[in-house]
């Protein structure tokens, strides 16, 4: 078996968790990351160690392997003690069990949000077969914005787009929004996956955000861009608006960069 710590994908996974903690997006054991492994990456792991029941039917992903943060694990410890805080597993043929290949060395298991992650993977793969990463976290300004801005997909996407020139280019489809729901359930997983068919970013009202991408960098960068826009909003929302990016200018920007933006989110 290859030395995991020397593998680029593994180092990037640990670095991403470390950055998310450093930025304050994942306090305590808040947040989770899951990554669908390539066949080459799967070769870094050995035979199954034990099985862990999955709380929903994941047979659509049978035979696929994932690297996932553990339940109750602190992101600040991932980089230093990865084998305790991460786990690599294969979805069993019956879709009802995860065959642990590595990690969760203290007897732990995957994040309680695994249903939302795997359902989101299924949804994103149905749209784009290259999408391999799902990140959930609690970015401070995005969360603060939830309390003072209408949780309406068109309105919050429009506001975020206006906060920075890059936004409509980075997430032209906008941001999906869910109301507050009980976390760690199949219900919130189903609702998130439904949104993930149309959006790569989904806000969980008064909780956090989900982001999906081809790579760790892309998923992280999507959330990072939303968080920067939310920070600008929170710094300026109480002040008179003297300047803004007009809808006509947002449309020109999106068209100049050749992105397929959600036109109904602009008032043209």
Active site residues: 113
Name beta bridge partners: 202: 176, 210
d(CA 132, CA 117): 11
d(CA 44, CA 48): 13
Instruction: Report which of 175, 177, 171, 174 is spatially closest to residue 151, judged by C-alpha positions.
Output: 177
d(CA 217, CA 23): 15
Q: Length of the chain, please? A: 268
Burial 229-240 (b: 16+ CB within 10 A, else e): bbbbbbeeeeee
Cα separations in angstroms, 88 against 176, 196, 257: 29, 24, 38
Cα separations in angstroms, 186 against 29, 32, 72, 112: 20, 16, 18, 10
């Amino acid at each position: 078996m290859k030395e995991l710590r020397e593998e680029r994908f593994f180092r990037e996974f640990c670095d991403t968790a470390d950055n998310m903690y450093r930025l304050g997006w994942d306090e305590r054991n808040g947040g989770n990351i899951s990554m669908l492994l390539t066949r080459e990456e799967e070769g870094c792991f050995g035979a199954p160690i034990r099985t862990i029941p999955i709380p929903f039917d994941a047979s659509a992903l049978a035979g696929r392997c994932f690297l996932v943060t553990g339940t109750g694990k602190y992101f600040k410890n991932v980089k230093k003690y990865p084998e305790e805080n991460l786990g690599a597993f294969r979805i069993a043929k019956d879709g009802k069990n995860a065959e642990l290949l590595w990690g969760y060395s203290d007897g732990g298991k995957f994040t309680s949000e695994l249903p939302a992650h795997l359902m989101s993977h299924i949804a994103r793969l149905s749209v784009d077969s290259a999408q391999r990463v799902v990140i959930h976290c609690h970015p401070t300004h995005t969360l603060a914005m939830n309390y003072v801005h209408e949780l309406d997909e068109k309105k919050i996407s429009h506001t975020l787009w206006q906060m920075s020139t890059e936004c409509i280019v980075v997430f032209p489809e906008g941001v999906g929004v869910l109301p507050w729901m009980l976390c760690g359930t199949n219900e919130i997983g189903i609702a998130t996956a439904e949104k993930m068919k149309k959006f790569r970013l989904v806000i969980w009202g008064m909780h956090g955000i989900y982001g999906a991408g081809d790579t760790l960098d892309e998923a992280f960068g999507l959330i990072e861009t939303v968080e920067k826009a939310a920070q600008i909003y929170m710094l300026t929302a109480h002040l008179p608006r003297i300047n803004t990016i007009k809808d006509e200018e947002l449309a020109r920007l999106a068209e100049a960069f050749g992105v397929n933006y959600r036109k109904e989110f602009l008032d043209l």
